[in-house]
Structures are given as C-alpha cells and as structure tokens.
Amino acid sequence: MTEHFSEAIHNLQVSWPDITSLEVSYRVVESFDPDFAVDIIEHPDLNAQASNQALALLLREMGASNIVAFVRIIDLPPDCNRSVRQLRSEDLGRMISVDAIAVKISGVRPRTYEGTFECIACSHRIMVSQPNEQELIEPVECFEIDGGCGRRKGQTRFVQRVEESILINSQFIELQEPPENLRGGVQPERILCIAEHDLAGKLNPGDRVTANGMLFVRSQRKAGKETPIFDIFLRIHSIERENIPLEEIQISEEEESEIKELARRGDIYDLFVRSIAPSIHGMNEVKESLVLQLFGGVAGRNKDGSRTRGDIHILLMGDPGVAKSQLLSYMASISPRGRFTSGMSASAAGLTAAAVQDPSADGRWTLEAGALALADLGLAAIDEFDKMSQNDRASMHEAMTLQRISISKAGINATLSTRCAILAAANPTSGRFQPVSEVPFTNQINLKQPLLSRFDIIWLLTDAPEKNLDTLIANHIIDNRMSAVPEILVEQGSRPDPTKTADEAGLTMYGKTSIISRSLIRKYVAYTKRNIHPTMREEARDRLANYYVQTRLKSGEQTDSVSITARAIDGLFRLSEAAAKIRLSSEVTEDDALRAIRINEHWRFALMGENFDETTLASGKKGNARNRERTIVEIVSRIHAETGEMVNLNDVFTEAGRLDINRNTAEDIIDRLVLYGTLFRPRHDYLQPG
C-alpha cells in the first residue's frame, strides 16, 4: 500500500498547505485487504485516527515533521449509500455516504479540538479533549498526580488558554435530499452535518455532493433537560462529486443506445414537439422553442475571463386560459433539475438565497439556497412572473445575464451559480391584451424593459376566436378528459397510475401519435448536456451573420428605429447549438442556423408584425407614437428659432393639423413632453424648447 500511494504522499508533501488531504479509494483498500476494508466501514472513527497517525509517521520519515494531513476514504461501496430519509439507528457509528444538495451553509469558525485550561488557584495547566462540538468540556479536578493542587471544580475555577489550545476549522452544513428522488410532492428531508479541518469552506449552497461520513447523535433538550429522543448528525469524512453535470441521472447502456437510435430519426424534432405537454393542442412553434430551451446551447469561457451563457431564457406573455401554467409545470417536470415556482409566492430570497439565523449552530447566520441555485444546470419555471414585487424582480437581472448571484447579507459574502434556463409566464395588466392600442404588447404587462431584454424569445399568446381551431381544441380537451383515469381509483390501487406506466417505456402512445416518455426525455437531455458540445460550421456562421446584417438594414427611415440588436446574435447562436444537440451532432450545420432564424422571426412577427422594432421594446412606445412626439418637438423648435420668442400653442396645433395630428392627440403629446422636460411651458398658452 505504501508503494501504491508513495507518489500521492510526495505530492501532498510538496503541495502542503494548499492540499492537506490524501484521498484513498475504498476499492483500492478492498483489493489489498477485504477484511480491513470491512473494518473501515464498521469502525470508521478508530481507523480514521489510526490512518492519520500512520500518514503523519510516513511524512515525518520523509523529513516533513511539521505537516498535519488527513486520510480521506472515497468511493464507498453501493451498500453504504443512503438517502437522508433512509437513515436509521442501525447506521450509527458506521461509515455511510449520502447523495444530497447543500442548502444551508454556516460560516467557517474555529473550534477547540484540545483545550488547555489553567487552574486559577495554582496556575497548573490541564489538557482536555473536546469531542463534542456543541459543548465545552472543562476539567473536573486539578489532579495532584499531574502536579496540580487537588482542588475540585467547585473549589477553584478553570480558564481556557486559547493561545495554548489546539483549534480546528469547523462548519455546519445542512444537506437536503435531491428533488428527483421525491415522489408525490413529499417534503424533502434534511440532515445537519459538521465539516472540519480542510473540508470546512469547500461547499456553497446549491452544490450537489456525495458526503461520506459517520453518523452520531445528540440528545434533544426540553426545558433544560435531556430527553430520550436524539437528533442525528453526520460528521463528514470526505466529499465527492462537486457539481459534476447531472451525475444523479443514471443512464444504462440500453438507454444510451436507444437515445442514439432516436437521434438518427428524420422526424426527431417533430417527435420532441409532440412529446411536450401532449395534453395541450397545437402551439407547435412555442413547443419547438421549449424543446430547444430544454437542451440549451454550450456555455463557454473566454480568454479575457468572461463567460458566455448557454441557457435560453423564454417568456410566455398570454391571455388567461391559454395553458401557460400547464406548459411551465410540464417543462419543470421533464427537465433534469427542474424547479417550478410562482411569482405570487416567491420572494427574492426564495429565488436567490436567504440569510437565516440558525439556532442549532449557536445563532450563526447561514446561507440557504433558493430555487434558482437549486436549479443549477437545469430549468427554473416561474409562473406569474409579473406579480413579483419590483425589488424581487431586480434580483433576476444578474441571475439571468451573468448566471450567478452575489450575496452580501448578515456579514456573509458569497457567490452562487444559477446556470439554469428561465421559463417565465406573465399576464396582461388589463386582463386581456389590447391589439388595437398605442401601447405595445410588452408594455401591457407589468415588466420593465431591461428585464424583458434578457429573454431570448418572447411569445405572445392571445385567445382570439377562430372556428376551425376552436373546434380542434374543444375535441382535444374532451378526448383528453375522457381518456383520464379517475384519481381516487389510482390512490386506492384498483387502477394503475398511467403516468408511471407511460414513463416505463421509451416511446409510448398518446392518443394516435407516438411520444417520448418523460423519463427518457430527462435522460436524453442529461446525456446531451454531459457529452455533446457542438462547434459551428463556417456556412452556419455566415448564415447567422448575414441575417443580422440584413435585418439591421430594415430599420427604415426612422432614425431612432433598430430592427435587431447585437444581443440577438447570442440568442440565435444558442438556439442553433441546441438544434444540433438534439441530433447528437458535434457540428452546427446551416439547417440548424435556419431553424434558429425561423423561430426568431416567428416570435418577432407574432409580437409586432412585419415592422419589428427593438426601440419599441426599449422605449415602450410604438414607432408612429415616437414620430408624432418628434414632430411636435421639431415644430416648437423651428418656430422658436424663426421668431426668437415663445411659441403660441395655437400655432403648434395648426402646424400639427397640417401633418395629420389632431388637436386632442397633440395636447396629450405636449402634456407628456412638458412632464418629461423635453418642452417648457413658461405660460399657459405658450411653449419653448426644454
């Protein structure tokens, strides 16, 4: 064994104190001595202490007597793995591993490992080991046999000498079982863990880890007395798998071959579109964009240290009853690490991270990860996005653009990753969208323009009567209701659960069409995110660049009109990469670029028609409204320049009437311009430039 780890021990000696642990795989120990490996599981505390002493002895023989290092056992066998809700009294004192998410992290604090106490009466020093991290154990007597005065604790007082004590770093971590392991909306369970030495400060809220360690208990206290009920804690021995992408989703060889076979199908895009919320009729273009959002583009890091986002953000603006919430709920259920929340019940702390004062950690402030941090590398669906308060929505800017959250609360300064796609839904403020209005659609919802610009795609979903379409929707809804299984029969066990039977198959039937099961979609997406990172061909690159340039030229005669901005290129690039990932292709082809352009043009046309204008999104005013404002300002400026005096209001109305701007409209425009300070009204019937 010494020969096997000689190089690792030498590297530890050279790299110390940056590296203070020697990781040893359980499989290596088992191949060397199976009985010793079993003993490590059965008596982890004794073996951990002995292995640390052996490592210190080896380092001392190598001439490094001042190095303090630790042996960490990793890769525990599967029979040692437990979920948080499976922990039982039989696991106490054994080495186990727990797959979980770190949801709450305390600050790193020094803890007394061996305390040096001084007797006030005789100044004698006494060393006391401190195994309990929540209680300081003082000497009971100043023993004469050790050179003390013999007085007991009640006859003298013992004061800890911190400078002579041995202190170690300590941190409290709360682990929560992953949401993908939960069924039926069960509340996820948590366990409080203690990380010490070099393990303290390694994790951030939202990190997915395998924590190996030993369970121990502390008695619950009520009214100052101990009770026979114990709280379970985990003393972490080693940490594995820090945010390896989507590692929790296991894909067998048969499933991998099935995924590759599906990718070769010519109708793979149509198959995925049919598989997205099949209970919702139509909306094929919207569903196609949601499929691309599910796969996402490729995130990258540049030489200058900046990061390019790979996730696609989509906003669904729609009238009530167009199935927005159902789409969001379905997308959150099929996405790996999907999270669904409602803006009505979500605060900034619930979405990003909350600073919580934890009574179990001596009142320390700890960070608790929110929905966006827990959806890292997945999808966060936020319903009623417009119902969030302005302060809560402000926290979304950094999370959507830079895909991180900077936390500065209660003395805690941390940065959490939010590398997730955002799928949001919003309703119009007046109940329904008003197509014939001076106000653009994006201003008919309660969202500010800077936040709207963060979305790659903005779909407008209106509920307009149309006989043929309404007939198809009605028949689809009725057929869907008639084929449903009564829920009470499923709960009683007299009828099988159709969702579970459908998920067992790769391809399943929904009505008369074949769709991909939700479990296979989840594994398909996880497989592509782990293994497929396409690069763009030159012809696809040229196609996107030419589309951007040609669209910019369509701005027309309006000087303040911009048809498309540079931010759209990023969105097109991401959509093209997602289209290639669906085919498991290592290259983005021209067809992928054309698919991205088609989707981009479709949502832009649905939102604003032929003359799409980014300035309308930014200003909240349509082009003709901006033209009339500019015309009024030019009239006032011209007359003022010609006469050098204040401009009579009637002269302005006369000039505006010649340009087809009626008096009422001109009065409204002038009132707004005076309010903004563009024009100045020194007297009631007179104007001059502001």
Q: Where in the chain is the domain with CATH 2.40.50.140?
A: 97-244
Q: Between the CA of residue 295 and those of 234, 336, 454, 661, what are the distances in Å?
A: 36, 10, 19, 50
Alpha carbon of residue 526 to chain centroid: 16
**Three-class secondary structure of residue 255 per DSSP:** helix
Q: Which residue is it, tokens 């028949």?
A: 475
Cα end-to-end span (Å), the chain: 84
568: tokens are 């759209």
Question: What is the C-alpha separation between 320 and 385, in angstroms, rounded?
Answer: 14
How much is the average pLDDT of 300-323? 84
Q: What is the predicted pLDDT for the residue at 594?
A: 93
pLDDT digits (tens, 9 = 90+) for 269-297: 999 998 888 888 778 899 999 999 999 88
Q: What is the predicted pLDDT for the residue at 608?
A: 73
Q: What is the CA radius of gyration of the chain?
A: 33
Q: What is the predicted pLDDT for the residue at 87?
A: 84
Best-predicted range by mean pLDDT among 162-176, 470-484, 549-563, 634-648?
A: 162-176
Range list of β-strands (E), 121-202: 125-129, 158-160, 166-176, 190-196
pLDDT digits (tens, 9 = 90+) for 20-40: 888 888 888 888 888 888 888
Q: Where in the chain is the domain with CATH 3.40.50.300?
A: 276-484
**Three-class secondary structure of residue 57 per DSSP:** helix
635: tokens are 């009239």
| Higher per-residue confidence, 424 vs 438 | 424
Task: Check: CB of residue 503 under 8 Å from CB of residue 183.
Answer: no
By CB atoms closer than 10 A (0-12, 13-18, 19+), residue 631 is middle
Question: What is the C-alpha separation between 356 and 368, in angstroms, rounded?
Answer: 7
**Three-class secondary structure of residue 461 per DSSP:** strand
pLDDT digits (tens, 9 = 90+) for 382-394: 888 888 777 777 7
* Class of the CATH domain delimited by 623-689: mainly alpha
| Residue type at 645 in one-letter notation | E
How sure is the predictor about 447, in pLDDT bands with cuts at 50, 70 and 90? confident
Question: What is the C-alpha separation between 130 and 140, in angstroms, rounded?
Answer: 14
Q: What is the predicted pLDDT for the residue at 361?
A: 47
Task: Check: CB of residue 612 under 8 Å from CB of residue 561.
Answer: no
Q: Where in the chain is the domain with CATH 3.30.1640.10?
A: 1-75
* Class of the CATH domain delimited by 276-484: alpha beta
Q: What is the pTM of this model?
A: 0.71
Question: What is the C-alpha separation between 599 and 287, in angstroms, rounded?
Answer: 11
Q: How many residues are present in the chain?
A: 690
Mean of per-residue pLDDT scores for the chain? 80
Q: What is the predicted pLDDT for the residue at 596?
A: 92
Alpha carbon of residue 161 to chain centroid: 45
User: Which phi and psi angles does 478 have, rounded to 5°?
Assistant: -65, -45
**Three-class secondary structure of residue 97 per DSSP:** strand
528: tokens are 């592509």
Nearest CA to 171 among 220, 102, 221?
102
Q: What is the predicted pLDDT for the residue at 555?
A: 60
Nearest CA to 370 among 104, 626, 666?
104
Task: Check: CB of residue 82 under 8 Å from CB of residue 98.
Answer: yes
How sure is the predictor about 360, in pLDDT bands with cuts at 50, 70 and 90? low
| Higher per-residue confidence, 245 vs 110 | 110
**Three-class secondary structure of residue 476 per DSSP:** helix
- Could you give the maximum distance between any two Cα atoms of the chain, in Å? 112
Answer yes or no: is pLDDT of 186 > 70: no
Laid out side by side, the sheet with 686-689 consists of: 647-648, 686-689, 679-683
Q: Which residue is it, tokens 């417009």?
A: 386
Q: What is the predicted pLDDT for the residue at 598?
A: 92
Could you tell me if residue 384 is left (phi over 0), alpha (psi between -120 and 50 degrees) or otherwise beta? left
CATH of domain 97-244: 2.40.50.140
598: tokens are 């088609």
Answer yes or no: is pLDDT of 576 > 90: yes
Q: Where in the chain is the domain with CATH 1.10.10.10?
A: 623-689
Range with lowest mean pLDDT among 320-334, 394-408, 545-559: 545-559
Q: 535-618 is classed in which CATH architecture?
A: Orthogonal Bundle (1.10)
Question: What is the C-alpha separation between 73 and 94, in angstroms, rounded?
Answer: 13
Q: What is the predicted pLDDT for the residue at 503?
A: 56
Tell me the DSSP string of 354-384.
EEEEEGGGTTEEEEEE-HHHHTTTSEEEEES
- Percent of the chain past pLDDT 70, that is, above it, reads 83
Q: What is the predicted pLDDT for the residue at 644?
A: 72
CATH of domain 1-75: 3.30.1640.10
How sure is the predictor about 579, in pLDDT bands with cuts at 50, 70 and 90? very high
Answer yes or no: is pLDDT of 230 > 50: yes
Answer yes or no: is pLDDT of 581 > 90: yes
pLDDT digits (tens, 9 = 90+) for 493-537: 677 766 665 555 567 767 677 888 888 888 898 889 888 899 999
Question: What is the C-alpha separation between 581 and 583, in angstroms, rounded?
Answer: 5
| Higher per-residue confidence, 587 vs 501 | 587
158: tokens are 């013992």
| Residue type at 411 in one-letter notation | G
Q: What is the predicted pLDDT for the residue at 28?
A: 85
Best-predicted range by mean pLDDT among 193-207, 438-452, 675-689?
A: 193-207
How sure is the predictor about 147, in pLDDT bands with cuts at 50, 70 and 90? confident
Quick one: DSSP state of residue 1? -
Answer yes or no: is pLDDT of 415 > 90: no
Nearest CA to 461 among 428, 494, 487, 493?
428
Answer yes or no: is pLDDT of 68 > 70: yes
